[in-house]
C-alpha cells in the first residue's frame, strides 16, 4: 500500500513540470445521466461500446518502436542502452506506442507504468458522458495515484467546428502547461459543460472565447495569438492524432488505448463505457 506521502508526491508530478493538475482538491464533476453502451463515429447511431482486450503489442506500432530503438542506439554512439525496459521519464517526445506527446494535454506521473491514450473532441455528446460519469473516478483511482499517465488526443469528426475547437484546447494547454496545468482542465471541463443537447450550433469562436476569458489562469489574448500564428502547425498535429487513432483501431469518440510501457501489452475500450470497464482494462495490464 502506498503511503500518503508517496501519493502526495505522485500527485505533484501531474501534467509535467512538477506541477499539480488533478490532485490537491481540484474538483472535476459527476452526473447521473443514463449510460448507453457502444462506440460511434458520429452521434447518429450509437450502438454498445465494445470492450476489447488485446494483451500483446499493437502490430501497427512495431516499425515505430524499431525506428525509435535505432535512433536511440545511434545517439549513444555505441554505448549500451536498455530501450525495452527503460521507461520514458518525461512528457515530451514519442512513446513506445508511437504517440507524440509534444503539445498534447498530459496528466500523470511521467514514470507511470500505464499510458492511457484518450481520443476525443468537444462536440461529441458521448465524450461528455464519459467526462461526467467516468473520468473523475478514473483520475482519482489511477492518475492521482501514479499508476496511469493520461494523454488527450484529437479526433475531429463531428462537425466543421471540430478541428477549431481542438485548436482552442491546444492553445490553452500551450499557455498553461508549465505554469498552471489545472487551468487547462478547468477550461476543458467548462467546454463540455457548455455543450448543447440541441446539436452543434453552440460551438463557435464566440463561445470558446467567452469560456477562455472566464477561466481563471487562462490568458485569452495569448490564446487568440496562438490560434492565429500556430493554427497550421496545430492542425497538422491534430491530423496526426486522428491518423494514429485510426491506426490503433479507434473508429469513433471517445476511444481509448491502454498501453503498458514496459511489456508493450495493449488493452482497448471504445465508447462512453462505465468506470468498471476501464478499471478492468487497466488492472489487467498492471497485474502482468
For 251, the grid coordinates are 473508429
16 touches 106 (CB < 8 A): yes
In this predicted structure, which of 86-95, 132-141, 159-168 has the lowest mean pLDDT?
A: 86-95
CA nearest 149: which of 110, 176, 182?
110
Evaluate if residue 112 carries a pLDDT over 80: yes
Contacts of 109 (CB under 8 A, 6+ apart): 10, 13, 14, 146, 149
pLDDT in tens, 6-58: 333 333 333 333 323 443 333 333 322 332 333 333 333 333 333 333 333 34
pLDDT in tens, 274-285: 999 999 999 999
Mean pLDDT for the chain? 78
Region of residue 122 (left: phi > 0; alpha: psi -120 to 50; beta: else): alpha
Backbone angles phi and psi of 52, in degrees to 5: -115, 130
Please tell me which residue, 64 or 148, carries the higher pLDDT value.
148
Evaluate if residue 142 carries a pLDDT over 50: yes
**If pLDDT is split at 50, 70 and 90, which confidence band does 89 have?**
low
Cα distances (angstroms) measured from residue 275 to each of 63, 132, 203, 244: 33, 11, 28, 24
Scanning the chain, the segments in alpha helix (DSSP H) are 4-11, 62-75, 125-133, 135-138, 162-176, 181-194, 205-214, 220-229, 231-247, 275-286
**CA-to-CA distance for 180 and 201, rounded, in angstroms?**
31
Backbone angles phi and psi of 199, in degrees to 5: 105, -160
Contacts of 66 (CB under 8 A, 6+ apart): none
Ordered by start, the domain boundaries in the chain are 50-74+89-286
**CA-to-CA distance for 7 and 82, rounded, in angstroms?**
28
- Residues 229-244, buried b or exposed e (16+ Cβ, 10 A)? ebeeebbebbeebbeb
**CA-to-CA distance for 226 and 164, rounded, in angstroms?**
12
Please, what CATH class does the domain formed by 50-74+89-286 belong to? alpha beta
Amino acid at each position: 500500500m502506498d503511503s500518503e506521502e508517496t501519493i502526495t508526491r505522485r500527485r505533484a508530478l501531474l501534467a509535467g513540470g512538477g506541477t499539480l493538475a488533478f490532485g490537491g482538491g481540484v474538483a472535476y464533476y459527476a452526473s447521473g445521466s443514463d449510460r448507453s453502451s457502444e462506440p460511434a463515429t458520429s452521434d447518429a447511431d450509437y450502438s454498445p461500446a465494445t470492450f476489447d482486450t488485446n494483451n500483446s503489442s499493437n502490430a501497427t506500432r512495431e516499425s515505430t518502436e524499431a525506428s525509435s530503438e535505432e535512433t536511440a542506439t545511434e545517439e549513444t554512439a555505441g554505448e549500451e542502452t536498455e530501450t525495452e525496459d527503460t521507461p520514458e521519464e518525461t512528457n515530451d517526445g514519442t512513446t513506445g506506442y508511437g504517440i507524440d506527446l509534444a503539445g498534447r494535454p498530459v496528466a500523470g506521473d511521467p514514470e507511470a507504468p500505464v499510458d492511457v491514450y484518450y481520443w476525443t473532441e468537444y462536440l461529441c455528446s458521448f465524450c461528455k458522458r464519459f467526462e461526467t460519469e467516468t473520468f473523475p473516478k478514473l483520475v482519482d483511482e489511477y492518475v492521482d495515484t501514479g499508476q496511469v499517465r493520461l494523454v488527450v488526443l484529437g479526433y475531429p469528426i463531428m462537425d466543421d467546428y471540430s478541428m477549431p475547437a481542438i485548436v482552442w484546447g491546444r492553445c490553452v494547454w500551450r499557455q498553461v502547461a508549465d505554469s498552471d496545468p489545472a487551468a487547462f482542465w478547468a477550461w476543458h471541463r467548462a467546454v463540455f459543460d457548455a455543450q448543447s443537447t440541441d446539436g452543434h450550433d453552440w460551438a463557435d469562436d464566440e463561445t470558446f472565447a467567452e469560456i477562455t476569458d472566464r477561466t481563471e489562469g487562462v490568458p485569452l489574448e495569448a490564446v487568440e495569438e496562438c490560434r492565429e500564428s500556430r493554427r497550421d502547425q496545430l492542425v497538422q498535429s491534430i491530423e496526426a492524432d486522428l491518423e494514429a487513432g485510426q491506426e490503433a483501431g479507434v473508429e469513433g469518440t471517445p476511444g481509448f488505448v491502454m498501453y503498458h510501457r514496459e511489456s508493450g501489452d495493449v488493452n482497448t475500450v471504445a465508447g462512453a463505457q462505465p468506470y468498471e470497464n476501464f478499471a478492468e482494462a487497466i488492472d489487467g495490464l498492471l497485474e502482468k
